[in-house]
Amino acid sequence: MNEDEKIRVAEANLDRLLDWVSRIDAKSAVVLGGNTAMLGVLATLAPAPHLWTKQTVILGAISTVCPFASLICVYLANYPQTKKPSTSLNFFGGIAKHTLAEYQKAFTELSSRDYLNDLLEQIHRNSEIVIGKFRALKWAYRALLIGVIPWALCLYYFRTFSDSH
C-alpha cells in the first residue's frame, strides 16, 4: 500500500470509530430514559415520608441502587474524553492550541507521513475511548436489567401500602 492508500484507509477507520462513538451515545440515551422513568415512577408512587416504615426505606433503597448505578455508568460512557494527543492537527484540542495563522502554517507544512501518523494517533486514542464507552454502557445495561426485579417489587409494595393507608 502506498502512503495515499494508507491515509485513505486510516481516514475511513477513524470515521468508523467516530460513528461508533455516536452509536454508543444514542444507546446511552435509551438507558438514561429507562433509568429516569424507573426512578420517576418510584418517586410518584412512594408513600408520604411520614408513613414510611423501616421496610419501606429498605425496599425503596434497594430498588433505587441499580438505576442510580446505571445512571453513573451512563455518565461515565458519555463524559467527554478530551485527553489530547500531543500536537494533533486533526483533534480540536490540538488545533485550538494554535492561533489561526499558526494552524494554517503547520497544516500547509504537514507532510503526508506526519498526517498519517496524526491519523494513526487519533485512531488509537478514539479506540481507547470507544472501549471505555462500551464497557460503561455494558455495565449500565446490566445494572438496569438487574434493577428491574427489585423495582417491580417496590412498585407492588408501594401500591399495596398506599391501598392499605
Amino acid in the structure at residue 104: Q
The residues near 160 (Cβ < 8 Å, ≥ 6 apart) are none
pTM of the predicted model as reported, rounded to 2 decimal places: 0.81
Look at residue 17 in the predicted model and tell me its pLDDT: 94
pLDDT in tens, the chain (165 residues): 899 999 999 999 999 999 999 999 999 999 999 999 999 999 999 998 888 889 889 999 999 999 999 999 999 999 887 776 567 888 888 888 888 999 899 999 999 999 999 999 999 999 999 999 999 999 999 999 999 999 999 999 988 876 666
Look at residue 160 in the predicted model and tell me its pLDDT: 85
The residues near 47 (Cβ < 8 Å, ≥ 6 apart) are 56, 158, 161, 162, 165
Look at residue 151 in the predicted model and tell me its pLDDT: 95
Look at residue 84 in the predicted model and tell me its pLDDT: 63
Look at residue 24 in the predicted model and tell me its pLDDT: 94
**How buried is residue 81: exposed, middle or buried, by Cβ count under 10 Å (0-12/13-18/19+)?**
middle
Is the separation of the CB atoms in 61 and 153 below 8 Å? no
Look at residue 80 in the predicted model and tell me its pLDDT: 84
Is the separation of the CB atoms in 9 and 123 below 8 Å? no
